[in-house]
Structure formats: C-alpha cells, structure tokens
C-alpha cells in the first residue's frame, strides 16, 4: 500500500507466488488499518 501520491510505501507483505491476490486484499487492508489507526480511503482494482 502506498501514499496518495504513490511515492511512499506504507505497508508491504511478501507472499508466495501462487497466492491469489483477491483472496487476501480485504485481510491486508484490515491488518493495515488496525496497525495504523487512521481514517483512510482505499482505492483498488477489480481484484478487490
């Protein structure tokens, strides 16, 4: 996950190459939100 301007990475999780992206996006956003405790707007592609 990156900042609004796309220049600053805020959260990264390295996964196995065969992990399905859309199966993990919701979990990743919830984990990120829990760690940062901020109000945020999440923008994602159709895989979400």
Mean pLDDT value across residues 16-37: 82
Cβ atoms 44, 25 nearer than 8 A: yes
Give the per-residue pLDDT at 11: 80
Give the per-residue pLDDT at 3: 80
Give the per-residue pLDDT at 20: 83
Cβ atoms 2, 10 nearer than 8 A: yes
Which distant-in-sequence residues (6+ apart) come within 8 Å of 24 by Cβ?
15
Cβ atoms 2, 12 nearer than 8 A: no
Cβ atoms 23, 10 nearer than 8 A: no
Give the per-residue pLDDT at 1: 77
- Average pLDDT of the chain is 80
Mean pLDDT value across residues 21-37: 82
Question: Which DSSP category does 9 fall into?
Answer: B
């Amino acid at each position: 996950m990156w900042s609004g301007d796309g220049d600053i990475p805020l959260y990264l999780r390295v996964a196995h190459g065969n992990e399905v992206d859309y199966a993990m996006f919701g979990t990743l956003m919830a984990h990120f939100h829990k760690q940062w405790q901020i109000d945020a707007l999440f923008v994602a592609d159709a895989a979400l």
